[in-house]
Amino acid sequence: MFFTSAFAHLLNCISFRIRHVCFSCDYSAILYYTLSAAMLHSSCVIPATIWDNLIIGPEVYLFTAIAIGFSTLWMICQTRLPNAKLKYLYRTLSFAVPFFFCNYPVVAYVLGSESTYYSRTCFKVHILSLLIGATFNIS
């Protein structure tokens, strides 16, 4: 994932077409990362006892993650076109929405009663730092 992102930023200034292709590959890598995290969470990382206490089950979770992943990929690739409106908002949402949805079981576990105070504090700091970074990205 980091290689495609670095490659996209490296070739950013060559031409509009190459830039668009490289950033589309970068966004595809983010989609693959999102889907692999969702597949791992739905199959082996999150125990069945936690899935029983959540609103959605692992099958619905995985299907929704795939739908969110492909819709955000389409949306973010459209922001690279010259007439795109609200492109920074859409780019930020394309990272934030899959992150929060794919980490939904982890958030439920960390904020639940089974986690320790230290893990809850670390996770809250992590989420806060992501929100601060997203705020600076939009502005």
What is the tally of structural domains in the chain?
A: 1
* Tens of pLDDT, residues 4-25: 666 666 666 677 777 777 777 7
- Cα distance between residue 79 and residue 69, in whole Å: 16
Residue 54, classed as helix, strand or coil, is: coil
* Tens of pLDDT, residues 71-103: 888 888 788 777 878 888 887 788 788 878 887
Smallest CA-to-CA distance from 37 within 111, 91, 100, 93 is with 100
**Whole-structure pTM value:** 0.69
Q: Which regions of 11-138 does DSSP assign to beta strands (E)?
A: none
pLDDT given for residue 80 in this prediction = 76
Residue range of the domain that includes 59:
2-138
